[in-house]
Amino acid sequence: MGALDGIRVIDAATLFAGPSAAMLLGDFGADVVKIEHPRRPDPARGHGASSRGVGLWWKTLGRNKRTAAVDLSQPGGQEILRRLAVESDVLVENFRPGTLERWNLGPEVLHELNPRLVVARMTGFGQFGPMASRPGFGTLAEAMSGFAAMTGEPDGPPTLPPLAMADGIAGLAMSYAIMVALHAREATGRGQVIDMAIIEPILGLLGPQMTAYKELGVVPPRTGNRSSSNAPRNTYRTRDGRWLAISTSAQSIAERVVTLVGRADLVAEPWFATGSGRVAHVEELDAAVGSWIAERDAEEVIARFEEAQAAVAPIYNVKDIAVDPQYEALNTFVELPDEELGSVTVQNVLFRLSETPGEVRWAGPPHGRHTEEILGELGYAAEAVATLRADGVIA
């Protein structure tokens, strides 16, 4: 039994932020019904690598979801969503503000049909404000949050991440927001509207930059792989050409690292007692750590750090991840049977619950795979389904 058994989620969002939130709920047993346009499937199906014409990103993003191809801009499709809303607990959508209202599917209408429905609205800039009507993607959030401005080398340009980072952060935040709303519903008996702007969750993750700016006028600089909060923290190359990452966020770890590399004398320096003090002497610290590591192979460095109980990790690419014993022990990846590819490997659920563990039950299915099944559950007769198909409402 999954923790969210009995919860039905309508995923009417596209690309990554909203669908990620629905995916995370599906991992723990929610019945997620994915709504896609009959002739314009979720663009996420075409992002990234593909195998035999099948998008592989979708295999993870669409996992544990049933897919129905429904045109919500047509009256017949709107009626399908209204029927679904009556039988559901959550609607996740990312249409531009006003779109659902134009289709007579706004929260007021849906709450008349089902007062317990949680309507989760995920847009680039939120439901109101001067930018609300603009198209918004995670890239814009990474730009506007300050992330790009503080990422990259000090003498280089602002740097965007090579992945849908802001979308992923917003998806995690939205799954949390939905669970908060569902918990509140237990006390009030009523659902509510969640308004989440993708530009905000990543902003919160970047730390108290606004607090420091208002208090001190501090604008975070680009520091490359260094940290503005503690040192030494960087990537270092070993004698055999591998790269390692070191962190000294805790004072005790910083002391162990400099002692290990032969600079125990630094621990007695007054400035060494704080992260900010060490940052002010980052060149000296990086030189000490970097030169010590450069004289040794990665295997020796890692072993010595482990003996000293200091924090170090190799910098992996996906080939390294595939054979790492820690990921294997955690069962971080699972291989699933798949009707399109035969089998496919996807990442497992993000955490382990001792009593109600999550499970990836199936990978992302083909477009519209469960349309007839879902309409049958809503009481549509075979003749009505055939008419909807002939009219282009479903596929």
Token pair 């199906």 in the structure block, residue: 45
- CA angle at residue 164 from 162 to 168, to 5 degrees? 140
The C-alpha atoms of residue 88 and residue 4 are separated, in whole angstroms, by 13
* Residue 12 neighbours by CB distance under 10 Å: 24
Quick: pLDDT tens for 67-77: 999 999 999 99
Query: For 190-202, what is the HEC assignment?
Result: CCCEEEEECCCHH
Mean pLDDT of 40-45: 96
The torsion angles phi and psi of 112, rounded to 5 degrees, stand at: -65, -35
Q: Residues near 68 by Cβ (< 8 Å), separated by ≥ 6?
A: 33, 34, 35, 36, 80, 368, 370, 371, 374, 375, 394
pLDDT score, position 24: 98
pLDDT score, position 376: 97
What sign has the CA pseudo-torsion 344, 347, 352, 353?
negative
Q: What is the CA radius of gyration of the chain?
A: 25
Domain boundaries of the chain, sorted by first residue:
8-204+334-390, 234-314
pLDDT score, position 179: 98
The C-alpha atoms of residue 3 and residue 29 are separated, in whole angstroms, by 6
pLDDT score, position 1: 78
Strands 342-347 and 333-338, bridge-based pairing: antiparallel
Q: Give the helix/strand (H/E) hosting 345.
A: strand 342-347
Quick: pLDDT tens for 341-381: 999 999 999 999 999 999 999 999 999 999 999 999 999 99
pLDDT score, position 95: 97
Tell me what percent of the residues of the chain surpass a pLDDT of 90.
98
Quick: pLDDT tens for 88-142: 999 999 999 999 999 999 999 999 999 999 999 999 999 999 999 998 899 999 9
Considering the entire predicted model, what is its pTM? 0.94
Describe the chain by its helix, strand, coil percentages, rounded to 5.
Answer: 40, 15, 45
Helix (H, G, I), strand (E, B) or coil at 90: strand
The C-alpha atoms of residue 161 and residue 274 are separated, in whole angstroms, by 30
Tell which CATH classification among 3.40.50.11720, 3.40.50.11740, 3.30.70.260, 3.40.50.10540 matches the domain 8-204+334-390. Answer: 3.40.50.10540
Confidence of residue 186 (pLDDT cuts 50, 70, 90): very high
Q: Residues near 20 by Cβ (< 8 Å), separated by ≥ 6?
A: 61, 167, 168, 170, 171, 172, 174, 175
Q: Count of residues for the chain?
A: 395
The C-alpha atoms of residue 11 and residue 33 are separated, in whole angstroms, by 6
Mean pLDDT of 218-233: 94
Q: What is the CATH number of domain 234-314?
A: 3.30.1540.10
**89, 167, 286, 338: which one is catalytic?**
167
Is position 167 annotated as part of the catalytic site? Answer: yes
Kindly state the tokens that stand for 44.
């996420």
Quick: pLDDT tens for 230-263: 999 999 999 999 999 999 999 999 999 999 999 9
Q: What is the DSSP string of 99-147?
A: HHHHTT-SHHHHHHH-TT-EEEEEESS-SSSTTTTS---HHHHHHHTSH
